[in-house]
Amino acid sequence: KAGVTQTPRYLIKTRGQQVTLSCSPISGHRSVSWYQQTPGQGLQFLFEYFSETQRNKGNFPGRFSGRQFSNSRSEMNVSTLELGDSALYLCASRRGGADTQYFGPGTRLTVL
């Protein structure tokens, strides 16, 4: 069974640009969550999508947004990039009920 996949694995952008990250969950998983990992703040929850609807959200500004498609694939968008957005962005999927969350390898975003 294939795991959670994220593309691209590495990305370099400049301040002010926008970026879109993609996540393909494990087959059969309907919930996709996004996390940001930085050295200073650790792993922080961004949001969760379930059946194409955002059902939970962390404390991040509106520049961070996401969506989920009917096949459960999810995208995360960050607009007007800031230097502080440089981080490892992790996607995790689960079936949706009381179920373990499985993480992808992450996308390393560097903002110059």
Partner 1 sequence: DQQVKQNSPSLSVQEGRISILNCDYTNSMFDYFLWYKKYPAEGPTFLISISSIKDKNEDGRFTVFLNKSAKHLSLHIVPSQPGDSAVYFCAASPNSGGSNYKLTFGKGTLLTVNP
The residue ranges that bind partner 1 (CB under 8 A) are 4, 31, 33, 35, 42-45, 48, 50, 55-56, 58, 90, 92, 94, 96-106
Q: Nearest approach, Cβ of 50 to partner 1 (angstroms)?
A: 7
Distances (CA, A) of 39 to 27, 93, 104, 108: 31, 23, 19, 13
Which one, 82 or 99, has the nearer CB to partner 1?
99
Which one, 79 or 96, has the nearer CB to partner 1?
96
DSSP state, residue 25 = P
Q: Nearest approach, Cβ of 12 to partner 1 (angstroms)?
A: 17
Rounded CA gap, 68 and 111, in Å?
A: 25
Q: For residue 111, what are its two tokens?
A: 């903002």
